[in-house]
Structures are given as C-alpha cells and as structure tokens.
Amino acid sequence: MAMPRIALHTLGCKLNAAETATIGRQFLERGYRLVEFGEQAEVCLINTCTVTERADRECRQIIRRARRTAPGAFVIVTGCYAQLAPEEVASIDGVDAVLGSREKFRVFDHVDPSCRPSIPRVCVSALEGVREFGPAYAAHDAGRTRGYLKVQDGCDYQCSFCTIPRARGASRSQALRDCLAQARDMVDSGSREIVLTGVNVGDYRSGETERLVDLLRALVRLDGLERLRLSSIEPNLLSDEILDLVASESRFCRHFHIPLQSGSDGVLRRMRRRYTAAAYRELLERIAARMPDCALGVDVIVGFPGETDGEFNETYRLLQDLPLSYLHVFTYSEREHTAAVSTGPPVDPRLRQERNAMLRILGQKKRHAFYRGHLGTERTVLTESTIDGRLRLGFTDNYIRVGIPEVEENRMIRVRITEVGEDHCRAEAVGEAS
C-alpha cells in the first residue's frame, strides 16, 4: 500500500515555520510522506497568519489553491487566522478541519484525516489562562539550513493594533533545559545556524530567575553550533547585557531586527508602544557605534488611524537618519476587536499606499547603501538550497544575501563580496570558514 502524502504550507513568520515543521513530524511518525505544496496529496495542512487583512485574504486564496491542486485531499487549517475566525475559515469551500492554537500540536487527537466529515470539524478552544507551551522547531531535515527554534509564545503587551495576544494567549516560555535539548537535536540533524523565534522573544522567562540573556549564554556554548541569531526583539527589551554578549561572542550573528512601528511619539502613544522615538534612536545609534558592521532591520506601520502628514514625516526623517540596513513596511489595516480603530480618523487608503511606497523606496536605498559599504570585504556565508542561475544563495552573519558560484548547500564559506545586485550581492569563495 502506498504511503499517504502530506503537503504543508506556512503563512507568516519564522515562528509559524517552526510550528509547521513540528506538526509535519507528527504525520511522518504516522507513516506519511512529505511532498511539496501544490503536488497531489492525501492531506494538505495550512498554518495561517492574521497580522493584517491582506494576510487573511492570502490565507483564503491558499486554501482554495489547495482544493484545486489536490482535489481529493483532506484540508486542515490551523494557526492565528483559524483561532480568531474559525467559522469564517470553516465556511471556505474545501476545508475539512479547523484547529486552534491549542489543538494544532495534537492533530490526531482531534481529526482522522482518512475520513472526511460531512461538515468541517472545528476544534478551537479559548486561550484565557493558557499556560502550556507547544514546543516547536524546524531543523535542517525540514529542508532548510537555518534552523528555527521556538523559545517563547504569546504576548502580554497590549499594542492597540495587534490581534496576536488574542490569537496566541499570554506570554509563556519553554524551559531553558528543553530549549538546549531541542537545539542539540537541531545541530545533530545538520543545522549550522539556529534562529530563536517567538511572539515576543525578549520577554523570555525560564523559572524564577533565567531570562533571555541566560538562554543566549547557554546556547552559544553548545558544541557544534556555528551561528546563533535572534529573529526579532522589542527595543525596550534589548538590554545592555545582550548587546555585550553579541559584541563579544563570534558565534552570534551581527544582526538585530527591532520593531519601530512609528517615528512619531504621538502615534507611538496611540499604538501603546513602550518607548519613544528618541529612545529608539539612541539604542540604534549605540549599537551601530559599537558594532559598525551590524545589520539593523526595522518594522514600520504606515496609515495608522489619525496619522497626519506631520507624524508620517517624523517617521520618514527618523528612518532616513538611522543607520538601518533594511525596512519591513506594513500598511495599517483595520482589525476587529482592537483599540486602534477608535484612536483617530481613518487615513485614506490611497494615502496609506503612497506612504508605503515612499518607505519601501527608502528601504531599498538603505539596503543598497549597506551592501555597498561591504564591497571588497570578507564575510562568512551559510549557503542555502536556493539557486539563482548558477549562483548558490546564502546569508552572511550580518544578513547580507549573497550568491556564490559552484558551491554546495549548507556550507560555511568565507567569501569576498564583489558586486551589488538588485536583491543580493555577488561574492567569490576564498576558503572554508575557520
């Protein structure tokens, strides 16, 4: 009898990618064979995101695509969109099961993928008071060279625009010893770099006393781990202890992704963020002065309710002045059950798009300037499975994407950057990384 096939699709962040890989392992343990999404499969599982209305729309499109490409498949939808709008997801033609945030790690406790129900099965429980932690990681054996390790979930912050606390519950963390054990498994399976993920990683807590810096100190001593990277960290949680550790340990990637959201103090207050524009500026300038080669990435939202031309210009000028490497620009979209919708008059959608376009152009300029500043320099690259023509792509420790001719995947290569292209640099190998 042929092995049943499972196709997985992830929408959203690295945290979702780690969780999808972990859910996939449940199927592999039950005799399923993993195939690419879009191929024929007996089961399609879609792990969704709901950060913006656009993310919701993309989720719906992917669900319909699963039905077209694998018309006989049992379609399971989980993730944040499934948690917040289970009946809406269940109403999409072709969906067989909807699993919430607490149910997704126990798929076979809730559904039998070999038996299609007459109506979609919805298993979504409330998250009030949730304390359990769903362990998750995506290692090299999941088809990637950078491994993603989930160390924290949920969020206690109440940013006025965000639905994630409702979709994932309160902040909770994995015990430090369990993080180390999973990291050991990841390294043993071939992961040469580990990226720490979570909803609010900087809020990591283990026991009464252990914090994120303690986890970082323990992980950096892990035998065989060559690189360690943080996925994202709130500016008010990026401590001097963490900066000291990253600056002093060669295995830490010189790369911080630090959400800003707005450069206007008025907008930041309406967003319920926990810092000022001046404090954010001081932090990034301090990092750049200490680690001039460090990549600094930013999230920013345009078109927040009540955002005036003057407030947007404050954001633009701050981003223009900061020593940034790249921007992730999001257009604000109204979300149900968030306080943001009542904080000010809506910004015209066309103006939102204009502001988005302005910041994206600025982001491209920042990225190219950062890349050009590294022409002729040597960096260490972890090569990935991706190919662009005859070039093998990979990332430097400070998050420069490069293409290198005639090298294999999952190698640590010392390269010299020789050319800056549209979305990556070209480099030549100069030897194995030491």
What pLDDT is recorded for position 63? 87
3-state secondary structure of 288: helix
The tens digit of pLDDT for each residue in 169-184 reads 999 999 999 999 999 9
The tens digit of pLDDT for each residue in 341-382 reads 999 999 999 999 999 999 999 999 999 999 999 999 999 999
* Fold type of domain 137-372: pyruvate-formate lyase- activating enzyme (3.80.30)
Give the residue extent of every domain in the chain: 5-123, 137-372, 378-432
Q: Residue 73: pLDDT above 70?
A: yes
3-state secondary structure of 242: helix
* Fold type of domain 378-432: OB fold (Dihydrolipoamide Acetyltransferase, E2P) (2.40.50)
Look-up: residue for tokens 């399609």?
44
What pLDDT is recorded for position 177? 97
The tens digit of pLDDT for each residue in 306-321 reads 999 999 999 999 999 9
The structure's pTM equals 0.94
- Provide mean pLDDT across the span 127-150: 85
Q: Residue 394: pLDDT above 90?
A: yes
What pLDDT is recorded for position 144? 67
Percent of the chain with pLDDT over 70: 99
- Provide mean pLDDT across the span 8-26: 93
Distance CA 332, CA 161 (A): 8
Measured in whole angstroms, the distance separating CA 146 from the mean position of its chain's CA atoms is 12
Instruction: Please give the structure tokens belonging to residue 194.
Output: 């580990």
Instruction: Please give the structure tokens belonging to residue 175.
Output: 């015990």
3-state secondary structure of 77: strand
Identify which of 137, 157, 150, 163 has the alpha carbon closest to the alpha carbon of residue 235: 157
Instruction: Please give the structure tokens belonging to residue 163.
Output: 């639905």
Amino acid at 22: T
Q: Do 193 and 229 meet the contact criterion of CB atoms below 8 Å apart?
A: yes
Kindly report the backbone phi and psi dihedral angles of residue 408, in degrees, each rounded to the nearest multiple of 5, phi listed first: -90, 165
Q: Which DSSP string corresponds to 327-362?
A: EEEEE----TT-GGGGSSPPPPHHHHHHHHHHHHHH
The tens digit of pLDDT for each residue in 282-309 reads 999 999 999 999 999 999 999 999 999 9
Q: Do 343 and 395 meet the contact criterion of CB atoms below 8 Å apart?
A: no
Measured in whole angstroms, the distance separating CA 24 from the mean position of its chain's CA atoms is 18
- Provide mean pLDDT across the span 9-13: 90
The tens digit of pLDDT for each residue in 217-263 reads 999 999 999 999 998 999 999 999 999 999 999 999 999 999 999 99
Q: Residue 425: pLDDT above 90?
A: yes
Q: Residue 141: pLDDT above 70?
A: no
Other residues' Cβ atoms within 10 Å of the Cβ of residue 255: 24
Tell me the average pLDDT of the chain. 94
The tens digit of pLDDT for each residue in 39-70 reads 999 999 999 988 777 777 888 899 889 888 88
Q: What is the CATH number of domain 5-123?
A: 3.40.50.12160
